[in-house]
Structure 1
């Protein structure tokens, strides 16, 4: 048996095989189907995919499917039995296909369906078979046909529907009275192209529903008969809500519709997608008595702009006695002040080209409570404030999406009744806080150019909601300035980068704060804010998902909740203590080294050696060998000079110049520093002889010579040191700074000068020999037991 994963893929492949290779807008490829189709899918959009056939078994696996959209495809057959296992399906759209027949036998499986759209298929009849009577929960039904008979709606006459849509552009035959069987609250009829059937349909619409929408009234030329039929329907029906959509008429014809509607039962009249053609002139209408309370003109497409009448045709709207007027997306530039006190309560003039001159000094709009001038070309806020000052009932003003700016010294005369003000998406700056109505409860300043919230806002004592998103605020506003009744604050998408703990605490009484999607800089200064936000997270809407780091770059996208810098890096006192402690420890170590190892002395010595060493660092060993002038350099204390001059050197040199000894008294060059002379003599000698005694360890220059000799150019690769212990040196007498001497005496063999009289150490060309009272002992060590000799002499130069 196949597991669930393989079954899903099998169905995906099956469904993909049924689709054409061309996918339209909103469709998705077979590679995306596994993500869109799962066993738990509740919604599936397969519209515009050029599907020609759908097998009944295709969707059998997806038992949770509630919404299926197959509109705008190429289906030619349909069988409701494919939903045998889909008893939770609620919405099905198979409109705009090529269906000619429908198999209704499977409708019993989807009795819970509420929305079924089968319109815009080339059905000859409506195919409302007897199984439709089982769809007791159906609320929306969309149908199309070329022929309608009296019995077509018989199977649904007992069902109470919310909306029935009839797309009847291609209707060729209609039996009068057929629509009378429908039981629906709203009927939307797209009129056929044939005028005869349009009239019959309109007459049948009279008492079917309280909401009627008529579409496709197209009168490029004069259409007196159509307007007459529509007027008759309006006069005789009991429709309370009448909608015209996709209507093309001249203004006199539209004025006729308005005048008839004013004397009917219609309370809500909406004109949507109105194309104005042929003639645009002022048509006087008596609006003194009428039932219309709401009038809407939306998406007006004017194809004529000139008028020959003395009054502008738009003046007719100012003369209307209607409570709610909407003129949206109609390209009007002005609406005159009503010539007499109007009953307007709501004026919606959005998405037009209205300027600052609207309702200047207009005293006849005393009843207006809601005014929307959204998305126009208003500029000066002071003009708007002056306009509202003559509207004593105005409570809600929407002037968003304009070009408004606030003059710094402008006089602001707002209506005292204003409670809700929307000035979002303008060019408002900080000076606006000097020009706000006192009694505001809701203020929207989103998407402007505010950089801070001034203290002047404290005069808004009743403010409950404040919207400041998408501005240039760098910190959270001080809620101490804002009304104590504030319950909602929106400051998201600003430039807030380092808010403080105090700023958030000041706003802790605000029940909802939206402060996400800001430019938070995750550093130590933010730690207190984060800890406070964790405490007040019930007030912070969107915490922690929308609170992320923006800077530094390496932390971008990290949630503030997950930002946890170390205590040392953020606490200045700990950091100072650590630095001071390290310095103290370093000083203690330095003191210890200076006291026990004479560190300054080593530093000076290393400096002098390096300074000299780098002068010859690029010389090769062969070049250095050619510069040798002496067989040995003698290092000794000045107190042991008599022994060196009278015994050591005479017995080594023997006055024949066969062995040359370098002595500082004879070979140091005047004018050079002592260190330079020491290093030069050591480097010009094959060997270095050190005469050790208690006096030697007391001489600082002797120790310099020992150090430089060991670290000379060949110090690491040759045995160039010869030690003669002239007098015994107890280890405790050797200072700690002479650690090198201790190491050398510990690891190298040295000669002890005998106490017996006449004992002399001699150097003969290629070897060392010991001479005691004139008797020579060879270097094999065959002399007296307490005497040691070493054959370490270099080759003769």
Structure 2
């Protein structure tokens, strides 16, 4: 029973259009999913986001089921062009009440259903181009689409347009109609829509075979406020052009031919048809002109209302035998604006230009004009083009700036010479005093000179290789200098009226309030993607002080990125977090030095208190002594080394030395006053004396414990005692010493006094002989050494 239930549930899901394993779209952002070109065969599962835009173009969808978009109720844009869609169930788009844009173009739909659009009350843009339908549904297809503004329909298979096919459409602003093989058109069909602002017609077949059908269509769409565009058409014969007479009667003002192949004869006939019309703008884009057979054609077009002529991407395959474009001359005499873009123009004679007295704007960008051709066109700076206000000669083959060509054009305000290969400019130039805008961007300039006109309001020298910009321009309000190699902002005092500055992609390291204070009227600054050194002052300035100077950051604040320090490289200025040490380097360094000094003083104090220096010196002395070879007892030179304080030297010289050295047998003492090598290092003398002595005799007193050298001799003797493990120390106590009063640094003296007996200088004179006898016995060498000692004495 459970198995049957599961099977029934699976069948129900399949019947209602659900898939047990719907594909996923992995290219979803916050409110949109780009699922194009993912080889999808089904509408993907809804992601866990509020999706308003879904792109399913260039996939392999064939059937749209009625439950495919149930989860996409918030969708506003649905793109499904270039799939294999053949079937759309009638309720498939019912959940999409908020949909504003639907693109079903270039699929395989052979039937259009009004049920698809029944609930699409919000739809504004619909594209049905390139499908296989022959008619626009069974009738009233677009009736529910009251808010539709853009409609694109038709294609290779469309054959008939009926009278009521566009019923209900009253808000259309744009119609693109591909009727290349249209056979039947019910007159008045498009007129039901009312006035349409923009109409694009692809009527190649009807223009060739059925001019009556074309006239009917043009009669329905022509209007003084309608822009007409004729696309994807081949005009060969003069007879094809007769439908254009409808434009004259309809009062059309704007006509565009796009992606059209046209012969010379057809073009002349076209212009004749529009003679005396209200046409104000004529545009020819992506055009191929062919010579063809002209025959006799009266050619005197009169278009007194024509104001603008645009030629874009014009190709003349047989240019070597073509009569140029001289047939446009009657038009050029009346127009005020001419654009010839990417038309491979390389020469325009002066005599052709002289008659263009009304021309105010000329755009010759993206051609192959040279310096010589420009000079000829401008009549070497003499006559013609007296009304010219703007000239655009960007992206040609110019290599120099010849300002004299423009000097005698009194109304000239704007010159665009960008995208040429100029590299350098003259030191001085002569411009018309009316010139306000000059564009020299992307011209490889390495240096600017006083050639720049002082009358300029707007200057663009971006994307060159400038390292310095210091030309005074008192009237300049906008300066575009991005993409150069400047290391700092130009001096603001040179541009007192500047309100906008763009200095992106340079080598500027910092911006400060001092820089901006020089600009009295600057309100907008674009300075992103420079090599900024993110110091604390710069980061603080960018976060707060910029607005204080009434300057607005015109580009993305996030694009102000740190180049240094290394820890902040690649980080946005708004996200930069600098340490206190980086922000207050001098103060931090001073505090650090003070801290180190205090630590050194503390260590020095502790070392002094605990006699660390002495211990280090003793260790060093001991290490040095360890490296010396030890003397055998027979090699010893002295019986005793006497260590005493200088304050006790009187007792030593008056009592100790006579009693021991004049005794029988005499003892040889080592005294520092007498036996140390003059000029030798005292430490070496002490170590050498102790090493060569059988005993070390310490004369202890209060003066002794206060003597640093005595302490050193005591410490070294202690090391020797520890190494040799013998009885090498003899202590004489001249006066009573309490071990508790001995300084801590005499720790070894305390240890010796606590572990060894010592001789006390008696207060009773009767005890003195016994004292000397005990002392001689303590110092005297063993018998085996006495003989050696005697021999050594005799030898000396």
Confirm or deny a common fold (TM above 0.5).
yes
* 1:275 matched to 2:291: no
Cα deviation for residue 401 of structure 1 reads 1.8
* 1:323 matched to 2:336: yes
Cα deviation for residue 609 of structure 1 reads 7.4
Aligned to 2:133, which of 120, 123, 128? 123
SS in 1 for 2:136: coil
Aligned equivalents of 1:336, 1:354: Cα separation in 2: 12
Task: Identify the range of structure 1 (466-475 vs 195-204) with the bigger mean alpha-carbon deviation.
Answer: 195-204
Aligned equivalents of 1:564, 1:555: Cα separation in 2: 8
Cα deviation for residue 95 of structure 1 reads 0.3
Aligned to 1:467, which of 453, 477, 480? 480
Q: Which residue of 2 aligns with 1:71?
A: 81
In structure 2, the CA distance between the partners of 1:478 and 1:174, relative to structure 1 (3 Å rule), is same
Offset from partner CA, 1:270-297 (integer Å, 9 cap, x none): 1111123356999995455443222111
SS in 1 for 2:142: helix
Aligned equivalents of 2:751, 2:39: Cα separation in 1: 86
Cα deviation for residue 322 of structure 1 reads 1.3
Q: Which residue of 1 aligns with 2:220?
A: 208
Q: Which residue of 2 aligns with 1:726?
A: 733
Offset from partner CA, 1:668-687 (integer Å, 9 cap, x none): 77886442243345567898
- Which structure 2 residues correspond to residues 111-510 of structure 1 after superposition, within 5 A? 111-127=121-137, 129-144=139-154, 146-149=157-160, 151=162, 153-156=164-167, 159-169=170-180, 171=181, 173-175=183-185, 177=187, 179-183=189-193, 184-193=196-205, 197=209, 199-209=211-221, 210-218=226-234, 223-224=236-237, 227-229=240-242, 231-235=244-248, 237-278=250-291, 286=300, 289-307=303-321, 313=326, 316=329, 319-337=332-350, 338-356=353-371, 357-358=373-374, 359=378, 360-381=380-401, 383=402, 385-410=403-428, 412-432=429-449, 434-458=450-474, 460=475, 463-484=476-497, 486-507=498-519, 509-510=521-522
Cα deviation for residue 45 of structure 1 reads 2.1
In structure 2, the CA distance between the partners of 1:470 and 1:17, relative to structure 1 (3 Å rule), is closer
Aligned equivalents of 1:392, 1:173: Cα separation in 2: 57
In structure 2, the CA distance between the partners of 1:217 and 1:766, relative to structure 1 (3 Å rule), is farther
Q: Name structure 1 gaps, 5 residues minimum.
A: 1-9, 768-797
- Which structure 2 residues correspond to residues 27-46 of structure 1 after superposition, within 5 A? 27=37, 39-46=49-56
Cα deviation for residue 421 of structure 1 reads 2.5
Aligned equivalents of 1:720, 1:560: Cα separation in 2: 78
Provide the aligned length of Structure 1 versus Structure 2: 726
* 1:52 matched to 2:65: no
Aligned equivalents of 1:96, 1:563: Cα separation in 2: 50
Offset from partner CA, 1:228-268 (integer Å, 9 cap, x none): 34554555553322221111123443344334334433322
C-alpha contact (below 8 Å) 2:52/2:76 kept by paired residues: yes
Aligned equivalents of 1:718, 1:86: Cα separation in 2: 106
Aligned equivalents of 1:577, 1:70: Cα separation in 2: 69
Cα deviation for residue 547 of structure 1 reads 2.7
Q: Which residue of 1 aligns with 2:11?
A: none
Task: Identify the range of structure 1 (295-304 vs 554-563) with the bigger mean alpha-carbon deviation.
Answer: 554-563
Aligned equivalents of 2:599, 2:706: Cα separation in 1: 29
Q: Which residue of 1 aligns with 2:701?
A: 693
C-alpha contact (below 8 Å) 1:262/1:292 kept by paired residues: no
Task: Identify the range of structure 1 (521-530 vs 584-593) with the bigger mean alpha-carbon deviation.
Answer: 584-593
Cα deviation for residue 431 of structure 1 reads 2.6
SS in 2 for 1:296: strand
Task: Identify the range of structure 1 (332-341 vs 295-304) with the bigger mean alpha-carbon deviation.
Answer: 332-341
In structure 2, the CA distance between the partners of 1:328 and 1:12, relative to structure 1 (3 Å rule), is farther
Q: Which residue of 2 aligns with 1:791?
A: none
Task: Identify the range of structure 1 (543-552 vs 132-141) with the bigger mean alpha-carbon deviation.
Answer: 543-552
Cα deviation for residue 755 of structure 1 reads 4.9
Aligned equivalents of 2:623, 2:294: Cα separation in 1: 107
Aligned equivalents of 2:152, 2:747: Cα separation in 1: 109
Aligned equivalents of 2:108, 2:208: Cα separation in 1: 27
Aligned to 1:553, which of 554, 566, 584? 566
In structure 2, the CA distance between the partners of 1:467 and 1:269, relative to structure 1 (3 Å rule), is same
SS in 1 for 2:501: strand
Aligned equivalents of 1:13, 1:577: Cα separation in 2: 69
Q: Which residue of 2 aligns with 1:773?
A: none
* 1:679 matched to 2:687: yes
C-alpha contact (below 8 Å) 1:707/1:740 kept by paired residues: no
Aligned equivalents of 1:754, 1:615: Cα separation in 2: 31
SS in 1 for 2:441: coil
In structure 2, the CA distance between the partners of 1:668 and 1:745, relative to structure 1 (3 Å rule), is same
Cα deviation for residue 753 of structure 1 reads 2.5
Q: TM-score, normalised by structure 1?
A: 0.77
Cα deviation for residue 440 of structure 1 reads 2.7
C-alpha contact (below 8 Å) 2:732/2:759 kept by paired residues: yes
SS in 1 for 2:472: helix
Cα deviation for residue 140 of structure 1 reads 1.0
* 1:522 matched to 2:520: no
Aligned equivalents of 1:535, 1:443: Cα separation in 2: 27
* 1:753 matched to 2:759: yes
C-alpha contact (below 8 Å) 2:302/2:330 kept by paired residues: no
Aligned equivalents of 1:402, 1:281: Cα separation in 2: 39
Q: Which residue of 2 aligns with 1:61?
A: 71
C-alpha contact (below 8 Å) 1:361/1:387 kept by paired residues: yes
RMSD: 4.9
Aligned equivalents of 2:698, 2:661: Cα separation in 1: 13
* 1:14 matched to 2:9: no
C-alpha contact (below 8 Å) 2:462/2:484 kept by paired residues: yes
SS in 2 for 1:297: strand
Aligned equivalents of 2:21, 2:412: Cα separation in 1: 62
Task: Identify the range of structure 1 (350-359 vs 626-635) with the bigger mean alpha-carbon deviation.
Answer: 626-635
Cα deviation for residue 399 of structure 1 reads 2.1
Cα deviation for residue 512 of structure 1 reads 1.3
Aligned equivalents of 2:337, 2:122: Cα separation in 1: 38
SS in 2 for 1:203: helix
Aligned equivalents of 1:335, 1:447: Cα separation in 2: 29
SS in 1 for 2:311: strand
Q: TM-score, normalised by structure 2?
A: 0.77
Aligned equivalents of 2:45, 2:485: Cα separation in 1: 40
In structure 2, the CA distance between the partners of 1:473 and 1:332, relative to structure 1 (3 Å rule), is same
C-alpha contact (below 8 Å) 2:381/2:406 kept by paired residues: no
Aligned equivalents of 2:410, 2:46: Cα separation in 1: 55
